[in-house]
Structure 1
Amino acid sequence: MDYDVKDMSLADQGKLKIEWAEATMPVLRLIRKRFEREQPFKGIRATACLHVTTETANLMKTLKAGGADVRLCASNPLSTQDDVAAALVRHEGIPTFAVKGEDNKTYYQHIESAIAHKPHLSMDDGADVVSHLHSKRKDLLRNVIGGTEETTTGVIRLRSMAEKKVLKFPVISVNDADTKHMFDNRYGTGQSTMDGIVRATNRLVCGSTLVVAGYGWCGRGIATRARGMGANVIVTEIDPLKGLEAVMDGFRVMPMDEAAPLGDFFVTVTGNLKVIRGEHFAAMKDGAIVCNSGHFNVELDIPALEKLSKKKLAVRSGVDQYTLKNGRRVSLLGEGRLVNLATAEGHPSSVMDMSFANQALGAEYIVKNYKKLEKKVYPVPADIDKEISRLKLAGMGVSIDKLTKEQVKYLASWEMGT
């Protein structure tokens, strides 16, 4: 079997971690049991480019249980858990191409290895496989029947491709599912980002000023978790509606120019580039800590930070301290990559249970319906979203009410008024 992982001796350790995560992923377990019976992916080759974590491992096991010939590569050079990658190869027989800290050249070599079996399905977190197929490996496009996309950044890229009529197959936007973005982005990113900051720095959040750039679902989660830890939270935004929402939620809102001198911690979650630029780094107080929890590290203008600096020092694992020419020090976490994965372990498995249930069912939907779908980005069907919610509540031991016949009739009626 073809693979590239750091150290196969870590496989047993990775297997235990995968099993630990699986214990709080009841929805995916139920889907796997059905897939084992029905084999919806029999004869289907799938390439997954996702963060190689314990939760992803359970998704890969689910796809394989459904009959898929699956290959996995990393969607970020710093997010791979090397023991998990080894376990997938040794214990699950899944070709995996991922090494934490891999350079850019290796990253794209791993994508090439992952698509070497000529996939029918792509499964992305950031749209790198789709982009690579459309730019470098157009010869493989004729095999692809569709794909799924996990994150906001990838959906933005794919919608741009669809609008320009260059997207060659349909893609399900897992990120648009309520059971993904309302939970994964808000609660998962919120907790795991703060976890990454604390693990990397061991600094006290309580009493500090934390600046969140972007008030989408991820930004809301981070701002809420930071406030819960005692931080004074500032939000920066470019959307007046989201800015207004942040104000109404009790946060201070201002431009980054005004926030830069005030913050002790800075987190970007916008999906855009150069959100924190040279003029902002230059204005920061001595000791400021900067990180990114968006998909790509372009949210921080790192070349500008390097240009402003006279010295760079790795002061802790995952912490690079830049001494600026003005004498102030600014620390960058995780090389500006997703801090929740670069310096921590990513989202809790109970949250990823819903996200990866969407991935699994979205992939099944593509296989069953691709002949009827146009070459564009589709939301997760509403019935899938509701079914995942139902399964999750059942897995948590939570019951909800049902409409009575009288209530059903009332909601369907226009005759019954006040």
Structure 2
Amino acid sequence: MTTGQQKMDWARQYMPVLRSIREEFEREKPLAGVTIGMALHVEAKTAVLVETLAAGGAEVYITGCNPLSTQDDVAEALNQVKGVHCYAKRACSNEEYYAAINRVLDARPSITIDDGMDLIFEIHTRRQDVLDGVVGGCEETTTGIHRLRSMAAEGALKFPVIAVNDTPMKRHFDNVHGTGESSLSSIMVTTNCLLAGKHLVVAGYGFCGRGVARKARGLGAQVIVTEVDPRRALEAHMEGFVVMPMDEAAKVGEIFITTTGNTSILTERHFALMQSGAILSNAGHFNVEIDVKWLEEHADAIERRDGIDTYDIFGKQIHVLAEGRLVNLATPKGMGHPIEVMDLSFALQALSARYMVEHGKDLVPGVYDVPNAIDEEVAERKLAALGIAIDSLSEEQTHYMSAWNIGT
């Protein structure tokens, strides 16, 4: 058994929800004759999703969605799975990255599964030749969905896409617990630095940011939150975090984690204010939140440890993790979200892909929520796997909750 197969075998045992779906897919073959194109982080948990789709009868073509998140041994193992074609490679150049995207599109997929919208972007710009064959897609992450909603608002989106990220089972588990735990664990294993007692700055208090902030506080960090949304800022304040502008946080922060999905969160003016030894990391999808390009143009990088580039600038040293890319996946030992969390997220992906195969031709172009029945089904399957039973409403209770004329 290769190391990639060992990783996949390890992940499978902690993914009971996806296992139950795979067993169902193997019996029913709901994806028979379907070609699925994927751009996701190619590592062990993703591989279990890919196996599940292939077990359902799909021909799957996959590449990475981040140049540094692919695990080459897992990519190699995926190519041994019947019906799977993997083109991902770690540390690929920008040209190699998009060449792999185009190899996926050369297969003319009818269903796309994206993490960051790269496939959909290519289809709508440089690869419109495959557009007519696409029934629909699924998008995994917040950043991709923001862009898809912008496309839809402008009338530019040409097929239906399910916003897998924007559903309770994704936001409250993957974004909060997955991003929170995996980002901090990756920072700790990469730097070997203590979090307890340190001033840790979290940029953005969305679901990912609040997950990072809460778990960092649990580890003893003194957490500072920066925000642009007054409601989220107030929420962070009410939950006991210090809230301030980044211009102020930059002066006291020792560890920085960006989670906004936006660009230019940490820039030249912030670097000038930081303490020597400040550690900068990004937990948003694209590597635009930290202005690494400016640092590269104004200082020579010294690799202090694997996954850490140190810049001598303004008379001090600033450390950037994973080149400003996803810290939980792009560091040398980054393993991504915990397996149990991705079991839920990839169960949503598998069931949403089946839904799109069955209903996509009836949907007009646009961004769609995950059907509530799918979201509840994933929760029910997880509870069953845990052996947890819950109550159900009686007929009287159901009637009471739906009636308007009962009175007090």
What's the TM-score once normalised by structure 2's chain length? 0.97
CA RMSD of aligned residues (A): 1.1
1:328 to 291, 305, 316: 316
1:337 to 325, 336, 340: 325
| Structure 2 spans left out of the alignment, 5+ residues | none
User: In structure 2, what is the equivalent of residue 5 of structure 1?
Assistant: none
Cα separation, partners in 2 of 1:405 and 1:225, compared to 1, 3 Å? same
Greater shift in the superposed pair: 292-301 or 89-98: 89-98
Distance (Å, rounded) in 1 between the aligned partners of 2:32 and 2:345 = 23
Distance (Å, rounded) in 2 between the aligned partners of 1:330 and 1:141 = 45
User: Is 1:239 the equivalent of 2:229?
Assistant: yes
Greater shift in the superposed pair: 16-25 or 187-196: 16-25
Distance (Å, rounded) in 1 between the aligned partners of 2:158 and 2:80 = 35
**Secondary structure of 1:90's aligned partner:** coil
User: In structure 2, what is the equivalent of residue 271 of structure 1?
Assistant: 261
Distance (Å, rounded) in 2 between the aligned partners of 1:124 and 1:178 = 19
| Structure 1 spans left out of the alignment, 5+ residues | 1-10
Distance (Å, rounded) in 2 between the aligned partners of 1:95 and 1:43 = 15
Deviation at 1:163, TM superposition (A): 1.0
User: In structure 1, what is the equivalent of residue 201 of structure 2?
Assistant: 211
User: In structure 2, what is the equivalent of residue 68 of structure 1?
Assistant: 58
Alignment of 1:15-414 (within 5 A): 15-92=5-82, 94-309=84-299, 311-324=300-313, 326-343=314-331, 344-414=334-404
Deviation at 1:308, TM superposition (A): 4.2
Distance (Å, rounded) in 1 between the aligned partners of 2:188 and 2:93 = 26
Aligned partner letter, 1:339: V
Distance (Å, rounded) in 2 between the aligned partners of 1:161 and 1:251 = 35
Q: Deviations over 1:191-217 (max 9, x none)?
A: 000011011100011110100000000
Q: Is the 8 A contact 1:15 1:91 kept in 2?
A: no
Distance (Å, rounded) in 1 between the aligned partners of 2:129 and 2:275 = 52
Distance (Å, rounded) in 2 between the aligned partners of 1:260 and 1:327 = 16
Distance (Å, rounded) in 2 between the aligned partners of 1:148 and 1:403 = 33
Aligned partner letter, 1:179: M
Distance (Å, rounded) in 2 between the aligned partners of 1:409 and 1:378 = 30
Aligned partner letter, 2:318: V
How many residues align structurally?
A: 406
Deviation at 1:304, TM superposition (A): 2.2
Greater shift in the superposed pair: 11-20 or 211-220: 11-20
Q: Deviations over 1:323-343 (max 9, x none)?
A: 10x211000000000000012
**Secondary structure of 1:297's aligned partner:** coil
Deviation at 1:168, TM superposition (A): 1.1
What's the TM-score once normalised by structure 1's chain length? 0.95
Q: Is the 8 A contact 2:37 2:60 kept in 1?
A: yes
Deviation at 1:411, TM superposition (A): 2.0
Distance (Å, rounded) in 1 between the aligned partners of 2:68 and 2:104 = 18
Cα separation, partners in 2 of 1:67 and 1:91, compared to 1, 3 Å? closer
Distance (Å, rounded) in 1 between the aligned partners of 2:68 and 2:21 = 29
